[in-house]
A = this chain, B = another copy of it.
Amino acid sequence: MSEQSVAHATFVIEHVYAAPPARVFAAFADPAIKRRWFAEGEGWVVDAFEVDFRSGGSETSHFRQIGGPAMGNDTHFLDIVPDRRIVSAYTMIVDGTRISASLGTVDLLAEGSGTRLVYTEQAAFLDGQDQVASREAGWRELLEGLGAVVDG
């Protein structure tokens, strides 16, 4: 019998921001703001970043660390409720190889005058590429960077 070619995993990250849900939501909805915390960073080059933020829309980003392989993220927005939630599916491509497909849920909960963001990723890692620990670590870093943008 052949082996399964896909490994599934789920992780959840919670992060509390001082900013209210509308401001956190805008950091996902506004391409200029999202680009800052999602694609840019010291030592990174953004080759493309195109966003059509609506249920049924898509987002494509191409980026790389200086000297590193080309990386790509193709996102489909599946369900968007303003100031409340964003459910999307995305694949990651590294050096021409698709390494994963994921369902990502951003749920925004009012907490005092701020926001509790609950990010749930249900991931399928392809052909032994990538693993849940590194994916989760990457998202923790992104969501901290989001804090610098909305609270900073």
Contacts and interface: CB of A to CB of B under 8 A. Distances in A.
Interface in A1-34: 1-6, 8, 10
Interface residues of A, number: 36
Contact of A78 (B55, B84, B91): B91
A52 interface: no
Interface stretch (A42-50, A61-69, A109-117, A142-150): A109-117
A84 B87 CA distance: 27
B1 A105 contact: no
Interface string A90-125: 010000001001110101011100001010101110
Interface of A: 1-6, 8, 10, 55-56, 74, 76, 78-79, 81, 84-85, 87, 89, 91, 98, 101-103, 105, 107, 109-111, 116, 118, 120, 122-124, 126
30 contacts: A1-B110, A1-B116, A2-B110, A3-B109, A4-B107, A4-B109, A4-B118, A5-B107, A6-B87, A6-B105, A6-B107, A8-B10, A8-B105, A8-B120, A10-B10, A55-B98, A56-B74, A76-B76, A78-B91, A78-B101, A79-B98, A79-B126, A87-B101, A87-B124, A89-B101, A89-B103, A101-B103, A103-B122, A120-B124, A122-B124
